[in-house]
Amino acid sequence: MSPRTQSAALLLCLNFGLMATAQAAEPGWYVIGFGGETSASGLSQGQVDDNLVAIFASVGLDELDASSTLDDSDTGFGFAGGYQVNDYLAFEFAYVDLGSIGYRASGTASDGVETLNVEAVLDNSADGAIVSVLGILPIGERFSVYGRAGLSLLNADGTARITVDGESQRAGQSSQTSDPVFGVGAEYSLSRNFAIRLAWDRYLDVGTEDVIGDTDADLFSLGVRMAVGWFR
């Protein structure tokens, strides 16, 4: 091979190398804010009705005859910081607020002597931290999909307000849980520093068991990711 041919081949290899470097995702820190809808998965209104019977029994009331409604969805939101190791791997630490589940019931119950008008208002809310790892599959230069697996550290608060013939009693329960979280998502890069993310995440065993009941929670969210250049 002549010196001129060798030089041309070397330049061609360097050119391909520079192109590959430009197309690859750069490792670095980033932040992301997200929001969407949280919904309870696997929680039935009948299950909460049974919890309400137990709550009334604890204050000496039985023969409950009531109509009820369950609002099992709410707004969820959060923010995260992450580090992308390479095109295929990233780590994230996030705060998330999953919102609350609300339950309302009204009717009558008996104290063994007379029939009384009763009303119940139950609420469960949860928020906390998530640590997770993302496995990423790039599809083209701007689009990628990913899978998430991690651990949620959530604080759950449950409140119950029971009203009997106009007199109210309030009780509460708090718990801290550590359970798996997993999800999938897709991301589209608008530029080198900004991307849009669409995600679904499932949080296992969220809530307070003795108020509304613990359940899995699904968060469907839209987020904006921004690279933090000064940490690169």
Model confidence, pTM = 0.80
pLDDT band of residue 80 (cuts 50, 70, 90) is very high
What confidence tens digit (pLDDT) does each residue in 29-58 have?
A: 999 999 999 998 877 778 888 878 887 887
CA angle (200, 204, 205) in 5-degree steps: 145
Residue 169, number of CB atoms within 10 A of its CB: 11
| Placement of tokens 């608008």 in the chain | 190
Q: Which residues pair with 23 in a beta bridge?
A: none
Torsional sign, CA 176, 181, 186, 192: positive
Of the listed ranges 38-42, 79-83, 152-156, the least confidently predicted one is 38-42
pLDDT band of residue 138 (cuts 50, 70, 90) is very high
Q: Greatest CA span in the chain, whole angstroms? A: 109
What confidence tens digit (pLDDT) does each residue in 215-228 have?
A: 889 999 999 999 99
**Which of the listed CATH numbers 3.40.1010.20, 3.30.420.480, 2.40.160.20, 1.20.58.100 matches domain 27-231?**
2.40.160.20
Average pLDDT across the chain, whole number: 83
pLDDT of residue 4: 46
Contact 67, 105 (CB under 8 A): yes
| Top-confidence range, 71-75, 159-163, 205-209 | 71-75
pLDDT of residue 79: 97
Residues 6+ apart with CB under 8 A from 156: 124, 125, 126, 174, 175, 176, 177, 206, 207, 208, 214
Cα–Cα distance for residue pair 178/16, rounded to 1 Å: 47
